Structure 1
C-alpha cells in the first residue's frame, strides 16, 4: 500500500513538472522581430535546421533555444573615443548609429557571431565603427579634415554602410560627432574673431567714407550757394534790402548824415 501511494505521488509530481515545463517552454515572437529556433546539440552546434518562426513557438529547453532579433530600426549612441589624424592630431569621435537587421538574415548573423543582437551591437558593431574611423582618419591631415569635412564624413558613412551590408545589416544613418582638438578649436575661434573684427573695421570705414562724402557734398552745396548769392548782389539790391529793413530813422555814417551808404 505504501509503495502504491509513493508511486502515485511520484507520477503526480512528474506530471505536474512535465506540464509546467511544457507550458513554460514556448516563446511568442512579437511583431517587429524575427524568431530563430537554435539547436543546442548537433553537427552544426547551434544552427542546425534553423528556420524563421513567428507567433508562438514551442521548443525543448534541454536541446533547443529561441532567440528574437528585432527587425525595426535601432539607434545606438556609443561612447566617445579618440582617433589620430595622419599628422598626429587627436580627434574625439562621439558616434551615433541607426541600423536594422536585414529581413531574413537573423540566422546568418547568429551563425557567425553566436550572440544576440544586443551583444553584437555593443561589441562587434562598435569595433567596426572604430576601425572605420581609424582607417579614414589615417588618410587625412588636420587641415584637410577641416577643409573637407563633408567629404570625410561621407566616405566614413559609405564604407560603414558597405561593411554592415556584408554582415546582414542595413545602415540607416550615422553621425560622427567629431570634436576638434583644443588647439584647433582655439585657432578657429581666433580666426573667426579676426574675420569679424576685420568686417567691423571695414564697415566702420565705409560709414566714415559715407560721412566724409556727405560733408563734402554739403560743403560744395554751401559754396555754390554762396557763389550764387555773391553773383546776385548789386547796389540796387542792397539798397532795396536796406529800405525794406529801415526803421524810419536816418542812419548816420561818419560826420555827415547819409541816406545811403556807398557799398563800393
Structure 2
C-alpha cells in the first residue's frame, strides 16, 4: 500500500514542479529568462518560439514580451514653431518590438513593455516633435505640411529603431494655433463669398444676355413687319378682321367705287 502512495506523491510533486517551475511562452511573444541574483542580474536566455521555459523561481524570473503591434495614444502636448507660435500635438503611434530585441530593451529599462511605451518613450517622442517644429516657421508648417510630417516620420523611425522598436504608423494630430485657425476660417469664408458673388454675377449676365437676345429678335421682327406691311396688305388684314357688323370709326376702306 505504501508504494502506490509514494508513487502518487511523486507524481503530484512532479506536476506541482511542472506547473510551478515552467512558464509557457505564447505565440506573438518573446520569453526572457532573468537572473534575480548574482553580478549579471540581467537577461540570460531568450525564447523566441512558443513552448515552456524551465526556470528556478527562487533565483530566476521569466517575462513575456509581446512582439505584435502596439498602438499607443499619447496625451496631447504643446510645442513651439521657429517663430514662437504654439501648436498642439496629439500623437498616436503603432509600433512593435524588433525580433530578438526584447532582451536589450529589458536590460536598458528594466520595465514592462507597457511602462516603456506609456511612460519612458513619451519624453523622447516629445523631443522629436520639438526638434522638427523648431526648424519651421508657422507659415512653412502650414504650406509645407507634407514635408514637415515626413521629417517627423523619418526622425521618429530612426529614434525608435535605436531603441529596438519598429514604427508601423504615426498620426501627429496637429492642431493649429487659434489665431491661425481664425485666419484660415476668414480666408475660406472670403473665398466662399467671392465664389458666391461670381456665381450670382454669372446668373445676372446670363439673364441680361438672354434679354438682349430677345430684344434683338423682337426688333428684327418688328423691322421685318414694317418692311412687309404695304398699304394693300394692311387693307387685306383689316378686311379679314372686320365682321361686317362692328361699327367703324373714321374712314373705312373703300372696297368698290361708286358708279354714277
| TM-score of the aligned structures, taking structure 1 as reference length | 0.85
- Aligned in 2, Cα 1:221/1:252: closer, same or farther, shift over 3 Å? closer
1:161 alignment counterpart: 157
In structure 2, C-alpha distance between the alignment counterparts of 1:174 and 1:81, rounded to whole Å: 16
Q: Is the 8 A contact 2:30 2:46 kept in 1?
A: no
Query: Are 2:237 and 1:247 equivalent residues in the alignment?
Result: no
Q: Is the 8 A contact 2:80 2:130 kept in 1?
A: yes
- Residue deviations 1:89-119 (CA, integer Å, cap 9, x gap): 1111111000011111111111222222111
Matches within 5 A, 1:163-182: 163-182=159-178
Q: CA deviation at 1:22?
A: 6.5
In structure 2, C-alpha distance between the alignment counterparts of 1:181 and 1:25, rounded to whole Å: 57
1:128 alignment counterpart: 124
Paired residue total: 242
1:3 alignment counterpart: none
Matches within 5 A, 1:106-255: 106-249=102-245, 251=248, 253=250
2:35 alignment counterpart: 39
Q: Is the 8 A contact 1:252 1:258 kept in 2?
A: no
1:83 alignment counterpart: 79
Unaligned runs of 5+ in 2: 1-11, 256-260
Q: Is the 8 A contact 1:25 1:60 kept in 2?
A: yes
Q: CA deviation at 1:182?
A: 1.2
Q: CA deviation at 1:259?
A: 2.7
Q: CA deviation at 1:203?
A: 0.6
Which stretch of the first structure deviates more once superposed, 118-127 or 74-83? 118-127
Query: Are 2:62 and 1:66 equivalent residues in the alignment?
Result: yes
> Which stretches of structure 1, 4 residues or longer, exceed 2 Å deviation after superposition?
16-26, 41-45, 49-54, 249-254, 257-260
Query: Are 2:254 and 1:259 equivalent residues in the alignment?
Result: yes
Unaligned runs of 5+ in 1: 1-15
Which stretch of the first structure deviates more once superposed, 206-215 or 116-125? 116-125
